[in-house]
């Protein structure tokens, strides 16, 4: 089974994004199935359950993170929930999905 992990960095404040709530969903035939909810640790890292090949979504609750950090956001915020849909082709692989995060931008990639 594939392993999944993430690392969220708050690029606006220059620090790991601790406490970001992340939901993991499996996507099959247009339906989403909730698999897990986690929060990043003090280093901004988190990991989920082992996964089979397929299509998945990670939902990062960025707006809640920035509000809890005292960042003044407009209502509604420009970025609130960030959904990253990705595919797992190799069920024995490691899938690391970092998120570089700011109130008005984000970037992601497949890390190792």
Burial label, 110 (beta-carbon count in 10 A; 0-12, 13-18, 19+): exposed
User: What are the tens digits of pLDDT across the range 38-88?
Assistant: 999 999 999 999 999 999 999 999 999 999 999 999 999 999 999 999 999
CATH class of the domain defined by 3-108: mainly beta
pTM tops 0.85, yes or no: yes
The dihedrals phi and psi of 63, each to the nearest 5 degrees, come to -60, -45
Domain locations along the chain: 3-108
Mean pLDDT of the chain: 97
Structure tokens at 72: 């003044």
pLDDT at 43: 98
Task: Give pLDDT, residue 112.
Answer: 81
């Amino acid at each position: 089974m594939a392993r999944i992990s993430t690392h969220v960095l708050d690029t606006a404040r220059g620090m790991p994004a601790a406490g970001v709530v992340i939901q993991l969903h499996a996507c099959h035939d247009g339906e989403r199935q909730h698999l897990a909810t986690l929060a990043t640790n003090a280093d901004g890292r988190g990991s989920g359950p082992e996964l089979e090949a397929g299509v998945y979504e990670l939902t990062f609750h960025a707006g809640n993170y920035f509000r809890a950090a005292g960042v003044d956001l407009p209502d509604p915020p420009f970025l609130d929930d960030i959904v990253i849909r990705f595919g797992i082709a190799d069920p024995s692989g490691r899938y690391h999905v970092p998120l570089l995060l700011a109130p008005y931008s984000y970037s992601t990639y497949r890390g190792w």
